[in-house]
Amino acid sequence: MEDEVPIHDKNNYNDANVDERSAEERAIDDWLPITSSRTGRWWFSTVHNVTAIVGAGVLGLPYAMSQLGWGPGAAALVLSWIVTLYSLWQMVEMHEIVPGKRFDRYHELGQHAFGENLGLWIVVPPQLICLVGVDIIYMITGGQCLKKFHDLVCEDCDDIKLAYFILIFASVHFLLSQLPTFNSISGVSLAAAVMSVSYSTIAWGASLKKGVQPNVQYGYRSMTRADTVFNFFGALGSVAFAYGGHNIVMEIQATMPSTVDKPSKRPMWKGVILAYIIIGLCYLPVALIGYWIFGNEVKENILISLQRPRWLVAMANMFVVVHLIGGYQINAMPVFDMIEAVLVKKLKFKATGLLRFISRTSYVGFTVFMGITLPFFDGLLGFFGGFGFAPNTYFLPCMIWLVIFKPRRFSLSWFANWFCIIFGLLLMVFGAIGGLRQIILHVKTYKFFI
């Protein structure tokens, strides 16, 4: 294993000779949401990672299992847990790999590894696809859960279109999006993390209570070989989506204090370990028990398959809504940081509250529009999971590690990284193909804005 590189964080020293940034650059960094506050605690890492990773994807895991089958499905879940924990560890280690510098954003690490321009193009497009894609999916899922809650508590009420519930869900984000920094949403993230554990427990607990359904079947749900293959691909993308949270790892660690004696990787990794234990306890029971109970008749969102007890299912849907509120904000904050950095650094706008209000409100409005336009939950999970999350979560950290550390060929580190790269590439290609096909099939029958 490679020697550990000494760490030195210039942002935590008062010596003006250490910090080579100009006064203007320091003022901008103090205004941008990622670097303005470095007071994060180790448990911030836990709640932010749980909120970022355990989201809408966990509710689709039983459905993914129905398309993968017992063996491939369980293998994909366990392998993904191991691979993504390994790649997340790499990112934590590389945050301060250069003495005197912190890579506060994912693209900064990519630029260090691949060059100023190439690194930007390698990292930013898939990262934006993931972050924006998740927020769009959360808009859809938040609206679906609100609609489900309404239908459960008011059976005799008139049917209300999904678009209106998406708008109701979005109204909260127009307000919360004005919270200035990553650390300022820690309370929202904590509530979201608690809710994610709660509704995951309800999902598998209520499934157990319901019992194995009569005439349950565990064969592939599709009738044709082509459908089976493409659905299998899409399910791989859904698994990739479920484990995707690496797009904000560098940004989370950037909020933590760091010195030579106490580098930020220590509290960050402590929080990550606890987060991944929680993730495993959420994912495996929901996926395996949900599939065991409902078989290949399980819905794309397992809460839809649960009809009784009504009060518990209604409560679970509201838990999901609370979690998605926090999850949306966690994924939106790096996007806000990118938008505001471009506006202030490149386009030379003044760093004002009005600029922040306009840019963030516009972003929320965009995700609302896309959520109403394309409410295809399962297809979007597969497409974004394969095309966006697989690169940034499964194999890009490993590629950066190989470039920076250059481990000896055929060593354990070399084999581990290449295994993750190949596994991630397969997920990317197959997941994107399967998800895109699902979207195309939905578009054929969907009537926009009606």
Q: Which two structure tokens, joined as six digits, stand for 126?
A: 């898939």
**450: pLDDT strictly greater than 80:** no
Q: Strand, helix or coil at 158?
A: coil
- Residue 201 backbone dihedrals phi, psi, to 5 degrees: -65, -40
**190: pLDDT strictly greater than 70:** yes
Q: What is the pLDDT of residues 214-233, one digit of tens each?
A: 888 988 877 788 888 888 88
pLDDT for 309: 79
Report the distance separating Cα 432 and Cα 428, nearest Å: 6
Percent of the chain whose pLDDT exceeds 90: 56
Closest CA to 383 of 74, 49, 86, 57: 57
- 92 and 269 in contact (C-beta within 8 Å)? yes
Cis-peptide into 180, omega within 30 deg: no
Which CA distances in Å does 138 have to 92, 224, 358? 26, 31, 22
**10: pLDDT strictly greater than 50:** no
Which among 137-141, 152-156, 249-253, 311-315 has the top mean pLDDT?
A: 249-253
- 117 and 132 in contact (C-beta within 8 Å)? no
Report the distance separating Cα 388 and Cα 385, nearest Å: 6
**270: pLDDT strictly greater than 50:** yes
- 395 and 83 in contact (C-beta within 8 Å)? no
Report the distance separating Cα 442 and Cα 49, nearest Å: 32
In 244-277, which positions are buried (b, 16+ CB within 10 angstroms) versus exposed (e)? Answer: bbbbbbbbbbbbbbbeeeebbbebbbebbebbbe
For CA atoms 260, 262, 268, 272, give the dihedral sign. Answer: positive
**4: pLDDT strictly greater than 60:** no
Report the distance separating Cα 148 and Cα 313, nearest Å: 9
* Residue located via tokens 């295994």: 419
In 81-101, which positions are buried (b, 16+ CB within 10 angstroms) versus exposed (e)? Answer: bebbbbbbbbbbbbbbbeebb
pLDDT for 58: 87
**12: pLDDT strictly greater than 50:** no
pLDDT mean over 79-106: 93
**234: pLDDT strictly greater than 60:** yes
156-165, 263-272, 311-320, 374-383: segment of lowest average pLDDT = 374-383
